[in-house]
Amino acid sequence: MSVRQSKTLLADLLIIATLFLSAITVKPVLSATFIVNSTENAVDAVPGDGTCETETENGICTLRAAIQETNALPGADTITFSIAPENPLNFRIIEVPYALPLIKDQLTIQGPNLGGTGASITLDGDGTFIGLWVDANNCVIRNLTIRNFERGIAATNASGLLIVGNRIGKFGVSIPNPLEGNAKEGIYFDNVIGAVIGGDTAADRNIISGNGQSGILLLDSASVVIKGNYIGTNENGTAAALPQY
């Protein structure tokens, strides 16, 4: 075999090897959507298997189980809600007896539109732990009612957050828990760089009222835009609420 033939063969082998390695190593990160269909609090049967179920093939997906799945899977995931009607028909109350998992990966939690035709998704704690705790970048919390926690939403060591269309604090009747507002802050940020709370439209407005200390508290945070919210008012923004946070 001549030197030219050897070089040609070597080049062909390198091309084939490159194509082979590309085929086996390039794996796209896929996004997943999990639909919460239960107000229960059971954990996920097998976190990371891509299926939100509290037992194998039982079809029950709780918010707790859905967060466990999203934490275990790479990529940007979404949690939505489709919970069967209860009494009253316009509310779906998820009673949270102990802390939900820390959100550790990019996630959108999407409730029904505030003031829209969909039922309100309400997270109801016992005043001793955080409602939703975000420790990941580029997360979205939209259109939830969050009440009766130590803090409604907390974010730490994160960036690119969007919090829109939520009711955080004392709204409606809290059953079975007597306290309705969050014990401390409605929204608490610590070391958050880059976030938006609220927006320019009524749909993006957060209503933050009836919490024990502050509506919004920022510590060691920067580039946080707060706009268009009702803080310390009633739901219509026409009068002060007590307590005014």
Where are the domains positioned within the chain?
85-245
Q: Residue 176 — left, alpha, or beta (φ > 0 → left; ψ -120 to 50 → alpha)?
A: alpha
Determine how many CB atoms are found less than 10 A away from the CB of residue 77: 22
Separation CA 209–CA 230 (nearest Å) = 8
Which two tokens mark 170? 């004392």
pLDDT of amino acid 68:
98
Top pLDDT among 77 and 172 is at 77
Whether residue 214 contacts residue 197, with contact meaning beta carbons closer than 8 Å, is answered with no
Mean pLDDT across 186-200? 98
Whether residue 216 contacts residue 244, with contact meaning beta carbons closer than 8 Å, is answered with no
pLDDT of amino acid 172:
59
Whether residue 99 contacts residue 123, with contact meaning beta carbons closer than 8 Å, is answered with no
Q: Residue 185: which residues within 8 A CB-CB, separation 6 or more?
A: 151, 152, 154, 211, 213, 214, 215, 216, 217, 245
Percent of the chain with pLDDT over 70: 78
Q: What is the DSSP letter of 236?
A: T
Percent of the chain with pLDDT over 90: 69
The Cα-based distances of 100 to 227, 233, 240 in angstroms read 28, 28, 31
Q: What is the DSSP letter of 103?
A: B
> Over the stretch 99-150, which tens digit does the pLDDT of each residue have?
999 999 999 999 984 444 567 899 999 999 999 999 999 999 999 999 999 9
Separation CA 229–CA 166 (nearest Å) = 10
pLDDT band at 227 (very low <50, low <70, confident <90, very high): very high
Separation CA 169–CA 179 (nearest Å) = 10
Three-state DSSP class for residue 5: helix
Whether residue 166 contacts residue 142, with contact meaning beta carbons closer than 8 Å, is answered with yes
Separation CA 48–CA 68 (nearest Å) = 8
pLDDT of amino acid 116:
44
Residue 59 has pLDDT above 60, yes or no: yes
